[in-house]
Amino acid sequence: MVNVNGKISCAIQENLILENRGKKHWRYSLLQAFIPMGRIPKTYTILLATAAFVGILGLWFSLTLLVGIDAFFLPSPVATLDAARILLSDGEFVLGVQMTVFRVMMGFSIAAAVAVPMGLLIGTYAPASAMLEYVFSFVRYLPASAFIPLFILWIGIDEPEKIAVIILGSLPQLVLMVATNVRNVPMSMIEVSYTLGTSKADVLWKIILPKALPDIVDSLRTVLGWAWTYIIVAELVGASSGIGYMIIQSQRMMNTSRIFVGILTIGLIGMIIDIAFKVLHDYFFYWNKEVR
């Protein structure tokens, strides 16, 4: 018979020995990294993320320079970098990037200002849930891009039309995600708060909102990423500036390198915003790190 208990005891002892030697020991760090929901030092995170980007860049170089894929289908990194240099020297591209960021942030801010209170109501109160949840469930399956012709007809082709696309694409998703965040608050916390004297009118602000707020911020970060997909679609129709406008113009001129510049610019901006969200999340909700 196999002595299973003996093997488990040896494994536990080995982990304890490694832990006693210090958490900086590489074997201990490697073991900890592959524990479910485990953590690794930030230095390792940066190194692994950098390695991933270097690997993608290396694959890109290999496909274009070694394999010899036609530049019409996949431009080389050098050609893309050269196209980016030319675009950045042109003030119109920089202005277009600024306009795209403005449209996204304005539409998303309006959507968030409406969605967070609505989600709190739906997640907290059953009558609000019964009245509104299925309405937003219905609306979120309506493609925002399909409303672009209607928005152009109703409000024209100026900035309000593009912002409206962002709002329509983000609002229903965010409302339902916030409602889910609220429902994830343990009922035991609410019952204990009643025992300690919290009134039913105050439990939303003193218990539910503080507990759900870190998850709500994560939901905002997620939906903001979706908002970028909507603005590009909005700028493909009836726009005279923006990253999406530049992409469609480059497609008409068969300039694949410029298309790649537009796509990579969106990815870079999105990554910067995502990192900013994470940093602010860890700063304001430091007490929530151990339970994430």
Per residue in 145-167, pLDDT (tens digit) is 888 888 888 888 788 888 999 99
Q: For residue 12, is pLDDT > 60?
A: no
Domain residues of the chain, as ranges? Answer: 82-291
> pTM value?
0.80
pLDDT of residue 23: 47
Among candidates 145, 141, 148, 211, which has minimal Cα distance to 176?
A: 141
The span from the CA of 268 to the CA of 257, in Å, is: 16
* Phi, psi values for residue 148, rounded to 5°: -60, -45
CB atoms near residue 7 (< 10 Å)? 10
C-alpha pair distances (Å), 112 with each of 88, 92, 156, 242: 32, 30, 24, 23
Assigned CATH for 82-291:
1.10.3720.10
Average pLDDT along the chain: 82
Tens digits of residue pLDDT in 225-242: 888 888 888 887 767 788
Q: 80: Cβ–Cβ under 8 A, 6 or more apart, which residues? A: 257, 260, 261, 264
pLDDT of residue 215: 92
Category of 37 on φ-ψ map: left (φ > 0), alpha (ψ -120 to 50) or beta: left
69 or 181: whose pLDDT is higher? Answer: 181
pLDDT of residue 102: 92
Category of 68 on φ-ψ map: left (φ > 0), alpha (ψ -120 to 50) or beta: left
Q: For residue 15, is pLDDT > 60?
A: no
Query: pLDDT band at 112, cuts 50/70/90?
Result: very high
